[in-house]
Amino acid sequence: MLLTSSNVSSTVQFITVLLLFAFVLFITYFTTRFVGNFQKERLSGSNINIVETQRIAPNKYIQIVKIADRYFAIAVCKDSVTVISEIAEDSLNLSEEPREKVSFKEILKRAKEEEKDN
């Protein structure tokens, strides 16, 4: 096979584009991880926590929110948030065990298995 300068030039351009694409993916991945960790650390020390969320209709939710040491039931809609009432802590069923952390990889694996079953 005879290599011409245009073939070599095309190959070099392809490799350059491939390397640039890989570099952009690399930078995007680490930037996303940095921003996510930054946001998580910033929010972890706050005095506001969402204890539970229940969807009641499309774009409408009821949430139990802990603000400092008080609990509130709120209605969250598309354009508004309404306080329903304050809730006594002893009337709540709060589980002390932490939620299982499931990685995206595990969720994707389960989805593929369910797809195969169907």
Q: If you average pLDDT over every residue of the chain, what do you get?
A: 87
Token digits of residue 9: 């030039």
Residue, of 89 and 22, whose pLDDT is higher? 22
| Phi (first) and psi of residue 97, to 5 degrees | -80, 135
Token digits of residue 41: 């650390």
Say which residues have a Cβ less than 8 Å from residue 92's Cβ, sequence separation at least 6: 51, 64, 71
Q: Averaged over 46-68, what is the pLDDT?
A: 90
Strand partners, 85: 73
Q: CA-CA distance, 69 to 89, in Å (whole number)?
A: 9
pTM for the full predicted model: 0.49
Residue closest to 59 by CA, chosen among 78, 79, 82: 78
